[in-house]
Chains A and B, each alone.
Chain A
């Protein structure tokens, strides 16, 4: 774990820098269940703390991977409320600082929007909408 710790605890590294190498063959030790495994973390997708910890032990070492593996933060709120919690749980499991984990990717739309609305761009934008 020590090498990972060193490379991942670099606080405040800008995202535009390329990531440092991470050898994923090193294990994290055995998964030890904690008493608060059942605490809901992502309420949109009903993902618990235990789910996240287990995913890390399954090899999901980045926020991106955990999100795709568990759908955590992919629901209606798009991670607005749970991202920091997920980050903290993952960082604790990996033994690194939360800020050292990959940042969430921001994608449009910033708020959920109905197809009929998103598709309705002529009226408001006028003929010069494009």
Chain B
């Protein structure tokens, strides 16, 4: 029978990372994946990742995927695609389907890195064509270049719902609203703010009453829910939509581990049925490991580090590492993983809403309930200051593990400090040269360059702009507030698209002076708007 040092099931971010780490230790590693392409969900991710440099912060997901594949290739990892693992049997034996055959293989260790599947929600009409998972929508848009619909309602305000909601806008869809039964936005505030300033309303404490249509979705009715999740009569609201995008969480695809007899636990905080395992991913069955979403839903950055930790631990388990080396390597990786698991959205803090940030700033309730910071609230954060001339305004109000802005500024205008969850501080005495690197580097698109007094009663606001077509200089339009309301006339003064920005265009608009701290998005006048297309 085919025999390997390590069999990895799943060539996503976690599985590949583990395979690379094990191959570096000199192991014979094979990775099976049922898909035609490796990389798992990474290649659907067109947004820039959070974190710090070691976590590939400010790099777009698909580029991280490219890097990972190159690294795997260089390390000698064998990736077998279109290879579906049908079962994980005693003695760490897998049965793999490839084409019209099945074959058996055994591993001295087996790492299950099968990821997660999307949850569904059973409302009347949920089986109509036009109700799709957010992941499916992403696949259509970002892998196949197909727009899922024209008018879309997004159900779910977690990061997946927010990120995909924004991508739908980029693809030219109209997003009629983001709906969530929870009373607070579940994902990062900065992701919500991106949608809100484009004019997407948030309906928290709301859920779908029904999807309408006979052979496909033609509309949707939502309603407010009370504390026992029942619809409050009279709060129903109808939208004409052709698509309902469902982003109500993920479930670990842990069936192989369960089948193999690993001790399992149903842990709602980790997304469902997960294996009981230690920090290295070792399960209760000797030689069987798990890493990534299959052992608890997080995101790709932590999945990659988990994979590396598992890879190193497996190499140690099979005697491929000097123990001291392994300890050091795992120590580094665990530090890196720990950094990602800090802040308000850390797994350990799931379900809690702090009243103040680590710095003592009040947490914006507007952001949590409506998706944007109010004009008053925004002033409370250390990234928001008034100054003469062009200066950075960093509307970052939640403690999340992310610090590319600090590295982006060569002039030392931005400081986060050692703790990467700290809110960025705009340093008063440093001189901003308006290079725009901070604006483009912020994965949350929360940094603006503002000149509050550009003369003649006008101000300029430079904002990150990831839509096509990019308006040309002189384009007239409207300035939009943080809530997406048109508040003033605006003219495009400059557009900068340099390769260092990695497709985050910097659009500078001229707005009335009193809108300097209020206008945060530009909407071209209708004639231009018609031409918006897929980003």
Determine whether A and B are in direct contact in the complex, meaning some CB atoms lie less than 8 angstroms apart.
yes
Select which of A13, A100, A103, A110 is within 8 A of B84 by beta carbon: A110
The 8 A CB mask of A71-109 against B (1 = contact, 0 = none) is: 000000000111111000000000000111001111111
Q: How far is the CA of A108 from the CA of B104 in the complex (A)?
A: 14
For residue B266, which residues in chain A have a CB less than 8 angstroms away from its CB? Answer: 12-13, 15, 98-100, 103
Whether the pair A118, B102 counts as a contact (CB closer than 8 A) is: yes
For residue A108, which residues in chain B have a CB less than 8 angstroms away from its CB? Answer: 86-87, 89, 95, 259
Q: How far is the CA of A73 from the CA of B230 in the complex (A)?
A: 26
The smallest C-beta distance from A87 to any residue of chain B, in angstroms, reads: 9
Q: How far is the CA of A60 from the CA of B258 in the complex (A)?
A: 23
Q: Which residue of B lies closest to A111 (CB)?
A: B84
Whether the pair B97, A13 counts as a contact (CB closer than 8 A) is: no
Q: Does A39 contact B (CB under 8 A)?
A: yes
Whether the pair A117, B265 counts as a contact (CB closer than 8 A) is: no
Q: How far is the CA of A80 from the CA of B252 in the complex (A)?
A: 10
The smallest C-beta distance from A117 to any residue of chain B, in angstroms, reads: 5
Q: Does B528 contact A (CB under 8 A)?
A: no
Q: Does B195 contact A (CB under 8 A)?
A: no
The 8 A CB mask of B247-275 against A (1 = contact, 0 = none) is: 00001001111110001111110001100
Q: Does B121 contact A (CB under 8 A)?
A: yes
Whether the pair A12, B267 counts as a contact (CB closer than 8 A) is: yes
The smallest C-beta distance from B258 to any residue of chain A, in angstroms, reads: 4
Residues of A in contact (CB 8 Å), total 43
Whether the pair A12, B265 counts as a contact (CB closer than 8 A) is: yes
Whether the pair B1, A117 counts as a contact (CB closer than 8 A) is: no
Whether the pair B102, A110 counts as a contact (CB closer than 8 A) is: no
Whether the pair B273, A125 counts as a contact (CB closer than 8 A) is: no
Find residues 1-44 in chain A having any chain B CB closer than 8 Å to their own CB.
11-16, 36, 38-41, 43
Q: How far is the CA of A84 from the CA of B121 in the complex (A)?
A: 9
For residue B97, which residues in chain A have a CB less than 8 angstroms away from its CB? Answer: 109, 111, 113, 117-118
The smallest C-beta distance from B411 to any residue of chain A, in angstroms, reads: 50
Whether the pair B84, A104 counts as a contact (CB closer than 8 A) is: no
Whether the pair B122, A85 counts as a contact (CB closer than 8 A) is: yes
Q: Does B380 contact A (CB under 8 A)?
A: no
Whether the pair A129, B126 counts as a contact (CB closer than 8 A) is: no
For residue A41, which residues in chain B have a CB less than 8 angstroms away from its CB? Answer: 122
For residue B119, which residues in chain A have a CB less than 8 angstroms away from its CB? Answer: 84
Q: Which residue of A lies closest to B121 (CB)?
A: A85
On whether A43 and B127 interact (CB within 8 A), knowing A81-B120, A84-B119, A108-B259, the answer reads: yes
Whether the pair A103, B258 counts as a contact (CB closer than 8 A) is: yes
For residue A14, which residues in chain B have a CB less than 8 angstroms away from its CB? Answer: 263-265, 276
Q: How far is the CA of A78 from the CA of B257 in the complex (A)?
A: 16
For residue A110, which residues in chain B have a CB less than 8 angstroms away from its CB? Answer: 84-87, 255-256
Find residues 81-135 in chain B having any chain A CB closer than 8 Å to their own CB.
84-87, 89, 95, 97-98, 100-104, 117, 119-124, 126-127
On whether A129 and B103 interact (CB within 8 A), knowing A16-B263, A106-B255, A110-B87, the answer reads: yes
Whether the pair A117, B264 counts as a contact (CB closer than 8 A) is: no
Q: Does B34 contact A (CB under 8 A)?
A: yes
Find residues 269-327 in chain B having any chain A CB closer than 8 Å to their own CB.
272-273, 276, 284
A-B interface, 10 closest residue pairs, ranked by CB to CB distance from nearest: A108-B87, A106-B255, A124-B103, A124-B101, A109-B86, A106-B258, A99-B266, A125-B103, A106-B259, A16-B263
- Report 8 cross-chain contacts, Cβ distance below 8 Å, ordered by A residue: A39-B126, A99-B267, A103-B273, A110-B255, A117-B100, A120-B101, A125-B103, A129-B104
